[in-house]
Chain A
Amino acid sequence: MKFTLKVWRQPARDKPGRFETHEVSDVSPDTSFLEMLDILNNRLEGESKSPIVFDSDCREGICGACSIVINGRAHGDGEGTTTCQLYMRNFKDGETLVLEPFRARAFPVLKDLVVDRSAFDRIIQAGGYVSVNTGAPQDANALPVPKVNADLAMDAAQCIGCGACVAACKNASAMLFVGAKVSHLALLPQGAVERERRVLSMIEQMEAEGFGNCTNEYECEAQCPKQISVSNIARLNREFYRAKARE
Chain B
Amino acid sequence: MILDSKIPDGPLEEKWDRHRFNLKLVNPANKRKHRVIVVGTGLAGASAAASLGELGYDVLSFCFQDSARRAHSIAAQGGINAAKNYRNDGDSVFRLFYDTVKGGDYRSREANVHRLAAVSVNIIDQCVAQGVPFAREYGGLLDNRSFGGAQVSRTFYARGQTGQQLLLGAYGALMRQVHAKKVKLYTRHEMLDLVVIDGKARGIITRDLVTGALERWIADAVCLATGGYGNVFFLSTNAKNCNVTAAYRAYRRGAYFANPCFTQIHPTCIPVSGDHQSKLTLMSESLRNDGRVWVPKNKGDQRSPRDVPESERDYYLERRYPSFGNLVPRDVASRNAKAQCDEGKGVGPGGYGVYLDFSDAIERDSLATIQAKYGNLFDMYEEITGENAYHVPMRIYPAVHYTMGGLWVDYNLMGTIPGLFVLGEANFSDHGANRLGASALMQGLADGYFILPYTIGGYIASQSGLGGQTTQHEAFAEAESAVRERAEKLLSVNGKRTVDSFHRQLGKLMWEYCGMSRTRGGLEHLLKEIPGLRAEFWENVTVQGSPGEFNQCLERAGRVADFLEFAELMATDALSREESCGGHFREEHQTEDGEAKRDDENFCHVSAWAFKGVGVTPELHKEPLTFENVKLTQRSYK
Contact = CB atoms under 8 A, between A and B. Distances in A.
28 contacts: A12-B549, A28-B274, A42-B498, A45-B553, A59-B240, A60-B279, A62-B74, A63-B65, A64-B67, A65-B65, A87-B386, A89-B386, A116-B66, A125-B175, A125-B178, A125-B179, A128-B175, A130-B131, A132-B126, A133-B51, A134-B47, A134-B50, A134-B54, A141-B86, A144-B140, A153-B133, A154-B135, A191-B131
Interface in A102-131: 110-111, 114, 116-118, 120-121, 124-131
Given A62-B161, A140-B124, A57 B173 contact: no
B499 to A, nearest CB: 7
Contact of B66 (A117, A127, A145): A117
A45 B161 CA distance: 36
Contacts, number: 220
A214 B176 CA distance: 27
Interface stretch (A48-56, A167-175, A216-224, A236-244): A48-56
A42 B130 contact: no
Nearest to A64: B70
Interface stretch (B164-172, B293-301, B317-325): B164-172
Interface string A174-205: 00000000001100101100000000000000
Interface string B376-411: 000010011010000000000000000000000000
B491 to A, nearest CB: 12
Contacts of A147: 136-138, 140
A58 interface: yes
Given A63-B65, A150-B136, A140 B142 contact: yes
B125 A140 contact: yes
A159 to B, nearest CB: 9
A117 B131 contact: no
Contacts of B129: 130, 132, 137-138, 140, 190
A87 B384 contact: yes
A46 interface: yes
A116 B449 CA distance: 30
A209 interface: no
Given A89-B386, A161-B69, A59 B279 contact: yes
Nearest to A65: B70
A145 B178 CA distance: 29
A55 B555 CA distance: 13
| Max count, chain B CB within 10 A of own CB: residue among A57, A59, A128 | A57
Interface string B11-51: 00000000000000000000000000000000000010011
A128 B542 CA distance: 44
B538 interface: no
Contacts of B50: 134
A146 interface: yes
Contacts of B165: 154, 157
B276 A30 contact: yes
Contacts of B581: none
Contacts of A191: 131
B158 interface: yes
Contacts of A120: 67
A143 interface: yes
B125 A138 contact: yes
Contacts of A89: 386
Interface of B: 47, 50-51, 54, 65-70, 72, 74-75, 84, 86, 122, 124-131, 133-142, 158-159, 161, 164-165, 168, 171-173, 175-176, 178-179, 185, 187, 210, 239-241, 273-274, 276-279, 281, 380, 383-384, 386, 449-450, 453, 494, 496-501, 542-545, 549-550, 552-553
B133 A157 contact: yes
Interface of A: 11-12, 27-28, 30-32, 34-36, 38-39, 42, 44-46, 48-51, 53, 55-65, 81, 85, 87, 89, 110-111, 114, 116-118, 120-121, 124-141, 143-147, 150, 153-154, 157-158, 160-161, 184-185, 188, 190-191
| Max count, chain B CB within 10 A of own CB: residue among A59, A81, A126 | A59
Given A48-B544, A111-B549, A128-B175, 8 more contacts: A48-B542, A57-B72, A65-B66, A121-B69, A125-B176, A134-B54, A150-B134, A154-B165
B128 A35 contact: no
B75 to A, nearest CB: 5
B19 to A, nearest CB: 18
Which 8 A/B pairs are nearest by Cβ-Cβ distance? A144-B140, A129-B172, A137-B129, A140-B128, A154-B133, A190-B131, A134-B51, A125-B179
A57 B75 CA distance: 10
Nearest to B139: A144
Contact of A30 (B138, B274, B553): B274
B278 A32 contact: yes
Nearest to B70: A63
| Max count, chain A CB within 10 A of own CB: residue among B131, B178, B453 | B131
Given A56-B240, A190-B129, A129 B176 contact: yes
A66 B545 CA distance: 22
| Max count, chain B CB within 10 A of own CB: residue among A58, A81, A135, A141 | A58
Nearest to B50: A134
Given A58-B75, A60-B281, A145 B383 contact: no
Nearest to A154: B133
A39 B498 CA distance: 11
A136 B20 CA distance: 15
Nearest to B541: A45
B542 to A, nearest CB: 6
Contact of B68 (A28, A34, A35, A121): A121
A185 B131 contact: yes
Given A85-B383, A140-B125, A145 B67 contact: no
Contacts of B124: 140
A136 B125 contact: yes
Given A59-B239, A130-B130, A147-B136, A110 B210 contact: yes
Contacts of A12: 549-550
A63 B70 CA distance: 5
A224 to B, nearest CB: 15
A193 to B, nearest CB: 11
Contact of A144 (B51, B141, B178): B141
A35 B496 contact: no
Given A35-B278, A46-B498, A63 B131 contact: no
Contacts of B138: 147
A117 B178 CA distance: 17
Contacts of A62: 74-75, 161, 164
Contacts of A30: 273-274, 276, 386
Contacts of B75: 58, 60, 62-63
A129 B279 contact: no
B545 A28 contact: no
Nearest to A63: B70
Contacts of A125: 175-176, 178-179
Given A57-B65, A63-B239, A131 B544 contact: no
Given A53-B550, A64-B70, A134-B47, A150 B133 contact: yes
Given A38-B500, A63-B75, A50 B545 contact: yes
A155 to B, nearest CB: 9
Contacts of A150: 133-136, 140
B70 A57 contact: yes
Contacts of B496: 46
A138 B128 CA distance: 9
A128 B161 contact: no
B605 to A, nearest CB: 34
A65 B209 CA distance: 15
| Max count, chain A CB within 10 A of own CB: residue among B67, B158, B210, B501 | B67
Contact of A64 (B69, B128, B384, B498): B69
